Amino acid sequence: MNKATRLTTLDEQSIEYIAIGAAVLGTGGGGDPHVGKLMAVEAIRELGPVRIVQLEELDDEGLIVPVSMIGAPTVMLEKIPSADQLTKPLDLMERELGRKVDAVMPIEVGGGNSLVPVIAAAQRGIPLVDADAMGRAFPESQMVTFHLEGIPCSPVAMADERGNSALMHTIDGVWEERLARALTVEMGGSASICDYPVSGAQAKRSAIGGTLTLAYEIGRTLFEAKQQKLNPVRELLTKLNGHALFHGKAVDIRRRMDGGFTRGEAVFEGTGENKGETMRLFFQNEFLLATVDDQPLAITPDLITLLDQDTGMPVTTENLKYGARVTAAGLPCDDKWRTPKGIETAGPRYFGYDFDYVPIETLASKGGAAK
């Protein structure tokens, strides 16, 4: 996206669009965007619009801190965090580092975590960076571009809704995931977290720029398609160079809480051109693998998202219901995830799936996607 068209401030309409777009990029996870939207709108009504800055505007010596929620999306629907809970980890981070935070950013642009730092930015009166460290949502803490670049995750600061807080120094992002996830379970299944504090120079080198603007443009595309009575799914996939993988109806959904994650599988009976076929969709907070006849349609780290066939609106793992008629769509991930380190960190074999990663463009060209 052209730099000149990128966001400069966030108002209520911007947040509405970002919430929709973030749910598309969230690949089913990242926390419920509706909850994040309501909290962000309330913060802006009370404290005023939030200023957006681009990566290239950051001072190389500035301190940039991601703010997010960690835990199972199913739990986050019932345990809505307060503004104090979201800013408590920032307080701990500043105390530990001995300096003020200059800007905040999303750790992931997907789902509600795209909007969590809006509340922190409004509360602190500091800018929000138009970037994230995933270009989507992933379930585990080390699945960020900062980890791919070897940037330390520590210090890690966490807080729950009761007022409990913790500060950790872990040897790497994998150990952060293990320890922070265990603490999250003890905190009731969700917690606020700040990790991977970076300098402006590190953010410029390692983050994925323009992702909040991308979420905004996705949301606006779906909104305008509805207003103009266009096919929203077709309009969105054209804009994103995406692929329609499967058209179907949800006939079986199995979810379970396991180790602080919402894990499960959904089964879809084909409709239209996919009539007679069955798609299986596997998730760990986020959709990770889609198959038909045990053959992959799309594989992590590429994005798999479900879109309502009528409205084009994204359907999350926790909101997917029996009978839902959806189009499964595949979107290419950022190139950082297609490196050997990226595939090792967030590819199919990490999650225990017996497939090698194949880019969505290749799978679609072989006829593995619906028209």
104/187 same-domain check: yes
pLDDT score for 4: 46
Whether residue 182 has pLDDT greater than 70? yes
Range of the domain at 281: 232-365
Element (H, E) at 37: helix 33-47
**Averaged pLDDT of the chain:** 93
Structure tokens belonging to residue 91: 């307080």
85/141 same-domain check: yes
**Does residue 43 or residue 32 have the better pLDDT?**
43
pLDDT score for 77: 67
- Neighbour count for residue 335 (Cβ, 10 Å): 10
79/199 same-domain check: yes
pLDDT score for 371: 37
22/154 same-domain check: yes
- Work out whether strand 278-284 and strand 261-270 pair parallel, antiparallel, or are unpaired: antiparallel
Distance CA 238, CA 292 (A): 24
When pLDDT is cut at 50, 70 and 90, the band that residue 1 belongs to is very low
In a domain, 227, yes or no: no
In a domain, 218, yes or no: no
Whether residue 272 has pLDDT greater than 90? yes
Long-range contacts of 342-350 (CB under 8 A, 24+ apart): 342/148, 342/301, 343/301, 345/142, 345/143, 345/147, 345/148, 346/138, 346/140, 346/143, 346/300, 346/301, 347/299, 347/300, 347/301, 348/288, 348/289, 348/299, 348/300
3-state secondary structure 269-321: EECHHHCCCEEEEEEECEEEEEEECCEEEEECCCEEEEEECCCCCEECCCCCC
241/184 same-domain check: no
CATH of the domain at 91: 3.40.1610.10
Percent of the chain with pLDDT over 70: 96
When pLDDT is cut at 50, 70 and 90, the band that residue 35 belongs to is confident
**Does residue 82 or residue 283 have the better pLDDT?**
283
> DSSP label at 347?
S
For 59-115, the pLDDT digits (tens) are: 999 999 999 999 876 676 677 788 889 999 999 999 999 999 999 999 999 888 999
207/285 same-domain check: no
CA angle at 108 for the pair 179 and 50, rounded to the nearest 5°? 120
In a domain, 371, yes or no: no
Of 75-84, 212-221, 246-255, 284-293, the poorest mean pLDDT is in 75-84
78/169 same-domain check: yes
Taking CA atoms, 336 is separated from 144, 152, 285, 370, in Å, by 10, 18, 21, 27
- Neighbour count for residue 114 (Cβ, 10 Å): 32
For 191-218, the pLDDT digits (tens) are: 999 999 999 999 999 999 999 999 999 9
User: Which of 182, 211, 240 is at the close of a domain?
Assistant: 211
In a domain, 217, yes or no: no
Q: Which amino acid is at 183?
A: L
348/244 same-domain check: yes
pLDDT score for 32: 74
Rg (alpha carbons) of the chain, rounded to whole number? 19
pLDDT score for 112: 86
In a domain, 10, yes or no: yes
Q: Once rounded to an integer, what is the mean pLDDT over residues 26-49?
A: 88
20/153 same-domain check: yes
In a domain, 200, yes or no: yes
Q: Once rounded to an integer, what is the mean pLDDT over residues 275-288?
A: 96
Domain count, the chain: 2
pTM for the model stands at 0.93
User: Which of 179, 211, 243 is at the close of a domain?
Assistant: 211
Q: Once rounded to an integer, what is the mean pLDDT over residues 327-351?
A: 97
Closest to 225 (Cα-Cα) out of 313, 295, 159: 313
Tell me the β-bridge partners of 261: 258
In a domain, 219, yes or no: no
Whether residue 259 has pLDDT greater than 80? no
Q: Which amino acid is at 57?
A: E
183/267 same-domain check: no
Whether residue 369 has pLDDT greater than 70? no
Q: Once rounded to an integer, what is the mean pLDDT over residues 267-294?
A: 96
Whether residue 368 has pLDDT greater than 60? no
Structure tokens belonging to residue 219: 């949301």
176/282 same-domain check: no
Whether residue 30 has pLDDT greater than 90? no
43/114 same-domain check: yes
Structure tokens belonging to residue 268: 């879809």
In a domain, 226, yes or no: no
CATH of the domain at 250: 2.40.390.10
